Structure 1
């Protein structure tokens, strides 16, 4: 029984890791990584810094998804983030992924 439980946990980990890699690939495909990196500030903040800033904010995913689609400025300085060519579903996936990078 213990072996089955360990196998199920391992499979779940692979599924989660696979989804995270797919969302990182989406960020690369949509050119998000031109201005953002996971752990390093570039033009915009590092994704881990975004996750840290919004930790515990239950509305963060929706706010970030909207900002990804529409762009914005002021939250991280004076450099504006332009609107991105993403669908609402893609924006939600990207926001969820960014917030998972703790």
Structure 2
């Protein structure tokens, strides 16, 4: 719970801090594009599918945690491994993914 509170506060701080946004370059640099694409399913879901599924649901903090720690069962049997990203990078990546409507 404490970790989730930290993520929520950091996410809120990033959202209030201005227009700094991730882009496809960060996703490529962090190897996200090895399993995901913007508009088609690869190993994992397309980013457009992720944005549509979680739009308006206030799930950004949970998605940030999933990017950092990995996840399983949200999109099928193949688990998403943890990623070597900082909290700020994870927040930027989630913000970018959620813009892929």
Structure with larger RCO (C-alpha < 8 A, sep 6+): 2
Question: TM range, normalised to the smaller chain?
Answer: 0.7 to 0.9
Q: Give unpaired runs (5+ residues) of structure 2.
A: 1-18
Q: What are the superposed Cα offsets for residues 9-60 of structure 1, whole Å, 9 maximum, x if unpaired?
A: xxxxxxx7xx66x5210000000000000000000000000000001112x1
The DSSP-based 3-state class of the residue aligned with 1:91 is helix
Q: Which runs of 4 or more aligned residues in structure 1 lie more than 3 Å from their structure 2 counterparts after TM superposition? A: none
The DSSP-based 3-state class of the residue aligned with 2:39 is coil
Structure 2: distance between partners of 1:64 and 1:26: 16
Larger radius of gyration: 1
Q: Give unpaired runs (5+ residues) of structure 1.
A: 1-15
**How many residue pairs end up in the alignment?**
83
- State the superposition RMSD in angstroms: 1.3
